[in-house]
């Protein structure tokens, strides 16, 4: 284990059910602690996260699917004093809060912070258990959106959302269609220690930070034509992809640390992890970022090699990719990976609308 790192309980790990005691100490532990004031949404970098991304709700989902909504709500009410176990987005959210603490130390009056919104189509009756869980883990999440079975997507713009993370792929597609950066988050296959003190975010390039222009060339004409196309257009920036704005927001916060002489101690670190080859197609990717006034701390060109082993060394809190093949490879090596359903690599969308679930968010 590296210095400054800890092991969070893995989303897939089995743990014994706690024996909760109905006494004053227990309820005191659930009571909200004094927390700083939330920033105004228009000033913050807003991360909307679904309840099933933040917490493990596998048993609750099973009850809803097999027994229906009334039994689901009854179960939640009966267990509302039992905190949920951490889900795949939990370490990411904890890292966001660690960055906020540093920013508040350096800029006490600034609202240029991360603001986390719990966005779920759960019923309001489930809200008490969610609140208890948030207080149990001492998370700073003040904004909730519980839509009682309706899709929460229409509220994302009202909350000035910079990134939406959900376990529901259909809701993520809806958000992408609305022009909102979004990804479906997946639990890793095994536990991996992540940094407590530095937020690490890894991005694929094409169809994530950049448009899918180059992927379309590969799909239509093959790799040789792709290399020729990239060389010819090396000095023409790629169009932006769905997560360009989120990288931009991270860069803005990084500069607040740089201006204090803390570049080497910055608690945010970003990575470009791409299947592109550096020699044949890497220059255009780097020049595109430069043209946007952006950079990543590290740029890793793999020339088609698997990404999972490299991500295991980086240990990011989250990795974004548009291809499920790379998402699955990252999961296998213990990385929390998020699928961005954008671009030519995506499978055709189902025409039937799936049944909405209060816990699929």
Which residues lie closer than 8 Å to 343 by C-beta, 6 or more apart? 206, 207, 211, 212, 215, 216, 241, 322
- Between helix 223-232 and helix 213-221 the angle, nearest 10°, is 140
Chain centre distance of CA 201: 9
SS3 content of the chain, % helix, strand, coil (to 5): 40, 15, 45
Residue bearing tokens 């809060």: 97
Local confidence band at 361 (pLDDT 50, 70, 90 cut-offs)? low
Pinpoint the alpha helices (H) of 127-212.
127-136, 169-177
Say which range, 26-40, 150-164, 343-357, has the weakest mean pLDDT: 343-357
**CA atoms of 206 and 344, how far apart (whole Å):** 10
Q: Tens of pLDDT along 185-204?
A: 999 999 899 999 999 999 99
> Is the pLDDT confidence value at 27 over 60?
no
Return the active site residues.
204
Q: Higher pLDDT residue, 253 or 224?
A: 253
Q: Tens of pLDDT along 98-143?
A: 999 999 999 999 999 999 999 988 888 888 999 999 999 999 999 9
Chain centre distance of CA 162: 11
On average, the pLDDT of the chain sits at: 86
């Amino acid at each position: 284990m590296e210095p400054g790192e800890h092991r969070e309980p893995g989303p897939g790990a089995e743990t014994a059910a706690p024996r909760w005691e109905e006494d004053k100490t227990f309820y005191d532990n659930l009571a909200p602690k004094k927390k700083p004031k939330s920033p105004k949404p228009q000033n913050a970098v807003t991360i909307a996260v679904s309840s099933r991304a933040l917490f493990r709700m596998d048993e609750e989902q099973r009850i809803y699917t097999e027994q229906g909504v009334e039994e689901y709500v009854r179960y939640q009410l009966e267990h509302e004093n039992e905190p949920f176990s951490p889900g795949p987005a939990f370490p990411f959210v904890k890292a966001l809060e660690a960055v906020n603490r540093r920013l508040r130390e350096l800029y006490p009056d600034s609202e240029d912070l991360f603001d986390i919104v719990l966005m779920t189509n759960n019923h309001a009756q489930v809200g008490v258990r969610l609140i208890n869980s948030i207080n149990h883990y001492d998370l700073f999440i003040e904004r909730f959106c519980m839509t009682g079975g309706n899709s929460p997507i229409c509220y994302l713009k009202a909350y000035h959302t910079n990134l939406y993370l959900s376990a529901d792929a259909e809701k993520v597609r809806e958000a992408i269609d609305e022009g909102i950066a979004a990804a479906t988050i997946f639990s890793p296959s095994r536990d991996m220690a992540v940094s407590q003190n530095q937020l690490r975010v890894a991005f694929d390039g094409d169809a994530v930070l950049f448009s899918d222009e180059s992927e379309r060339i590969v799909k239509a004409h093959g790799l040789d034509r792709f290399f020729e196309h990239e060389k010819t257009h090396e000095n023409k920036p790629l169009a932006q992809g769905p997560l360009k704005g989120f990288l931009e927001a991270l860069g803005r916060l990084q500069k607040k640390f740089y201006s204090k002489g803390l570049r080497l101690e910055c608690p945010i670190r970003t990575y470009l992890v791409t299947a592109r080859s550096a020699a044949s197609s890497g220059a255009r990717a780097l020049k595109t970022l430069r043209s946007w006034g952006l950079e990543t701390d590290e740029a890793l060109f793999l020339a088609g090699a698997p990404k999972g082993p490299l991500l295991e060394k980086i240990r990011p809190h989250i990795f974004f990719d548009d291809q499920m093949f790379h998402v699955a490879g990252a999961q296998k090596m213990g990385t929390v990976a998020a699928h961005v359903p954008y671009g030519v690599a995506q499978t055709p969308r189902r025409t039937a609308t799936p049944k909405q679930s209060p816990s699929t968010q």
